Amino acid sequence: MRTRRFRKPIVVQPGRVDRDRVVLSVSDAANVLLKDWPAPASETRLAAIEACLAVIRGEKPPRVARQAFIVAAKDARILLGEQI
């Protein structure tokens, strides 16, 4: 699988205060969404997972997954920073 990189990184804090994560690609985002997400039942998380899958399948550009990930991170209150 080819890694689809984001143009600009996203920084989240899905767990402990000293464990910030820098998300650089669709695969990074999918990994955080599937393994480290604090709110497993949220609709925005599920939408972000679907967006990542669409990018991995080649149906959408990486910016779609990036935006969905940002929305989900804001909803879960784990977004520390994004560069637009």
Q: What's the pLDDT tens digit per position in 47-70?
A: 999 999 999 999 999 999 999 999
**Three-class SS of residue 60?**
coil
Give 26-41 pLDDT, tens digit per residue. Answer: 999 999 999 999 877 7
User: In which order are the strands placed within the sheet that holds 79-82?
Assistant: 21-25, 5-12, 79-82
Long-range pairs for 21-28: beta carbons < 8 A, 24 or more residues apart: 23/69, 25/62, 26/52, 26/55, 26/56, 26/62, 26/65, 26/66, 27/1, 27/3, 27/56
Q: What's the pLDDT score for residue 1?
A: 45
What is the pLDDT, as a whole number, of residue 61? 95
4-13 tens-digit pLDDT: 889 899 999 9
The pLDDT assigned to 83 comes to: 61
Between 17 and 36, whose confidence is greater? 36
Q: Give first-to-last CA distance, the chain, whole Å.
A: 26
